[in-house]
Amino acid sequence: MKKAYSVMLIAVLSVMFFFTAGPVLADSKKITAAIDEASKNCRGVSHQIWEFKETGLQEVKSSALLKDELAKLGYKVTGDLKVPDDLVKDGIAKTAFKAEMAGKGPGPTVTIMLEYDALAIGHACGHNLIATSGLMAAAGLAKVMKDTPGRVFVIGTPDEERGSLGAGKVALLEGGHFEGSDVVFITHGADRWSMDQRLLAMKRANFTFKGKSAHAAAAPHKGINALRGVMLTFNCVDQLREHLRQDVRIHGVVVKGGGPVNIVPELAQAEFACRALDTPTMEDAYTKVVRCAKAGELGTGTTLEFKEPRVALKSAIVVPPLLDVVHANLKGLGIAAGEFKDFDELASSDLGMVGDSYPTVNVWFKIAPEGTALHSEALREAANSDEAWKAAVITGKAVALSAYEMLTKPERLKSVQESFKTAKAKGGK
């Protein structure tokens, strides 16, 4: 009786394995094999983008090349995306694009973002590898979508390096091009493997103080010094620092301080940036800086001109269950647990805006020795190296396998979405 029961159990388990783990494992193999196959061509694409080194909104050749490659993989590709015209001239994002592939019937939507803009010194932020690790993930998924529910979006997001101007992801979000996404993936090369998702939320403030000119020696009492308004603002901001949380950054510059020294300045301007690890804390610091400028106005009798900036960058919402999926896939692909390290230094990106709107993961992969700074010449050279390419292939596989899990395991996707919703309700704190 006991033996018969065991035999039956084994039989049932085998059937279950065939219908569940079996196809999943087979598809995982299909995905990674497709990426290995695509790797050689994608390495060439990466090298070309590295050589093009096109800066923000000039990424014409890089964008055309990626669109072409995605079309070859069977994606339906759309360029010239419509966006708000106060963010991008004429309201058409010429170097952005969106590629779509529908699967077998309705299901979730996974989105992969590609970046491809360079800095003035070339690809010192390795965006050629963001584009091509994402392209490889797209190649892997293309192989299985005909048997998989849902769809894949690949969105080309230009102009990241000048992201605070809003012509990249902010414009595409406002243009509705991410709508329907359930999960968003992006990658970034660095000096380490990392699941660290922290970005500083950021908002800029431009203050103009208007006073009254007068001869600075003969009749200073007839003037109102606009520069004093700026100086008082800086002084007030410095009084605040004692009471700001450690992660808050406030940094300002004097844009215009006056003309000839013998004239009381009638116009002065300053620009500040306020940052913090979460958006509400950043907004609080920003409000305080505006109050400092108002104090500058009041104390000096100048007139302050100021308007809310069009674009502010939020910080990304951290979604642990999504990070766990990617982390597990990277470990499965041979990256040891001890290889993952958090960052000591943080910055801001328009990626934060996507991460505030949708469950998003940025996969940091190691392309250079530890200590190599982003935006350095050393990182630029690393971004075209064979070592970096090996890491990019692993990362492309991890993204594709994680995206596939989101498409095929509804309970896992649900836990990602619930975690996002809970953290978002708390403002990402």
SS3 269: strand
Stretch that binds Zn ion, among 117-125, 169-177, 196-204, 291-299 (CB under 5 A): 117-125
Which of 251, 233, 220, 217 lies closest to 300, judged by CA? 233
For residue 83, the minimal CB distance to Zn ion (Å) is: 21
Residue closer to Zn ion (CB basis): 69 or 160? 160
Closer Cβ to Zn ion, 329 or 395, answer by number:
395
Which pair of tokens denotes residue 405? 């899990």
CB 197 within 8 A of CB 260: no
Q: With CB under 5 A as the contact rule, which of the stretches 122-130, 325-333, 398-406, 418-426 interacts with Zn ion?
A: 122-130
Q: Which helix (H) or strand (E) holds 82?
A: strand 81-82
Find the shortest distance in angstroms from Cβ 52 to Zn ion. 17
Which uninterrupted H or E stretch holds 114?
strand 109-114
Does residue 271 contact residue 205 with C-beta atoms inside 8 Å? Answer: yes
> What gap in Å lies between CA 158 and CA 91, rounded to an integer?
14
Q: Confirm or reject binding of residue 368 to Zn ion (CB under 5 A).
A: no
Nearer to Zn ion, 55 or 415 (CB): 55
Query: Rounded to the nearest whole angstrom, what is the least distance from the CB of residue 224 to Zn ion in the complex?
Result: 42
Q: What is the C-alpha to C-alpha distance for residues 188 and 78, in angstroms, rounded to an integer? A: 24
Nearest to Zn ion of 73, 125 (CB atom): 125
Q: Are 400 and 332 in contact (CB under 8 A)?
A: no
* 250-254, long-range: CB < 8 A, 24+ apart: 250/274, 250/275, 250/285, 250/289, 254/230
Which of residues 70 and 392 has its CB atom nearest to Zn ion in the complex? 392
Q: Binding to Zn ion by residue 125, rule CB under 5 A?
A: yes
Contact between residue 365 and residue 391 where contact means Cβ atoms under 8 Å apart: yes
Closer residue to Zn ion (CB): 125 or 136: 125
Binding flag, residue 383, Zn ion (CB under 5 A): no
Measured from the CB of residue 244, what is the shortest distance to Zn ion in angstroms? 26
Q: Which amino acid is located at 208 in the chain?
A: T
Residue 125 or 317: which CB sits closer to Zn ion?
Answer: 125
Residues 6 or more apart in contact with residue 398 via CB below 8 angstroms: 326, 329, 330, 333, 363
Which residue's CB is nearer to Zn ion, number 244 or number 378?
378
Q: CB of 132: closest distance to Zn ion in angstroms?
A: 16
Report, in angstroms and rounded to the nearest whole number, the Rg of the chain calculated over CA atoms. 26
| Size, binding site for Zn ion by CB under 5 A | 1
d(C-alpha 277, C-alpha 265), whole Å? 37
Taking the least distance from each CB to Zn ion, the nearer of 70 and 202 is: 202
Q: Which residues contact 366 (CB under 8 A, 6 or more apart)?
A: 189, 190, 191, 192, 193, 339, 391
* C-beta closer to Zn ion: residue 27 or 350: 350
Of the ranges 123-131, 194-202, 217-225, 411-419, which one interacts with Zn ion (CB under 5 A)? Answer: 123-131
CB of 295 to Zn ion, least distance (A): 35
Please, what is the minimum distance in Å from the beta carbon of residue 125 to Zn ion? 3
Min CB(338)–Zn ion separation in Å = 27
CB of 163 to Zn ion, least distance (A): 9
Spatial separation of the C-alpha atoms in residues 307 and 94, rounded to whole Å: 29
Answer for the pair 113, 133: CB distance below 8 angstroms, yes or no: no
In whole angstroms, the minimum distance from the beta carbon of 382 to Zn ion comes to 14
Q: 243 - beta bridge partners?
A: none
Please report, as ranges, the residues that interact with Zn ion according to CB under 5 A. Answer: 125
